[in-house]
Structure 1
């Protein structure tokens, strides 16, 4: 029986479910708890709570949590972490559980395990020590785009077709290029971009990065030379008729 906590170099966040978890898992680790609500909005809230203040070298999270353990929500949470801009977006991620790779291949988020420094490990303190103390080359911001391109995420089921997605994606890109915060677009639900699909699109295309001032100036100068409608100030999408 494993009594002593695992000792791992660096600063560690240990995420656990509310039940059936390893007590005293990692020495001096910060702990976070996941609940049964596994909506994209709730997972986004948890990531903001855990990962925006303290810098962690290692993040350990359970493969199985939520109402349906066979949903393997740990894969989805790891994908959220990689697709969310934070000081811990590039930290090493260890997903611990009793399930082997063969049972996960058909999962939509399986490919997160093909990306750098996201590792499936056994559910034990010995495994935490063995994998946590391996020397790995850190993931860099330059590598992130290539790694996220390995993911193949499905369009959310509440969208009618690809045109619906394209319209909302177009609003986001138009606002970004105009230097307008998406929250200022009246009548548009900015919480849509807490959906993992949109977070993935934004992260893999590096759209969370600020547009350089030189590029902004060039875009403004180009727009002023174009004939036709000009948009000044906020965009109110409620004024447009839905088809």
Structure 2
């Protein structure tokens, strides 16, 4: 059964959304189960490898409690393919007219990437109020998020790029941050070794994150 959630509900479902690149399709389902066992339900499966779509389909079919999204959307044609594979939301590194049109026609909720205040304004004018600050740390990190919060209080963010277990809570303390994205939950060596217990431990630590006092 296909999940039907709006983007803000999805962002509230987990303090951390792991950014996942599947290099071996056989790893997709056990990885998803390991993350879910640690309390991380929202998964962004990127299209950075050739196994992305197949991994989305496998997880959607075999791990029904997971909220599966598709990442690294850069072409309009990817939206309908990802939706048909079982993705219930999409994430892009930026926002173009073609991506806006594809998001609307496919019905796939999109979390688009922005880096500057002008890009935030453009995304908001296009109807997007939940955005991904990307790459978060090079874009100004916590300082940028706090600066944007004043003039643009109706926009919420999932900062992604350069965030770690050690810094995630400080990002979560920003009043305009709902969740963060990161790849530290899925270290390549642990996946290749099939060390799912280690990934569950990382996921449990991430799911327990609470905001720290801001800087």
TM-score by length of 2: 0.33
TM-score by length of 1: 0.30
Return the structure number with greater strand share.
2
When Rg is computed on C-alpha atoms for both structures, the one with the higher figure is: 1
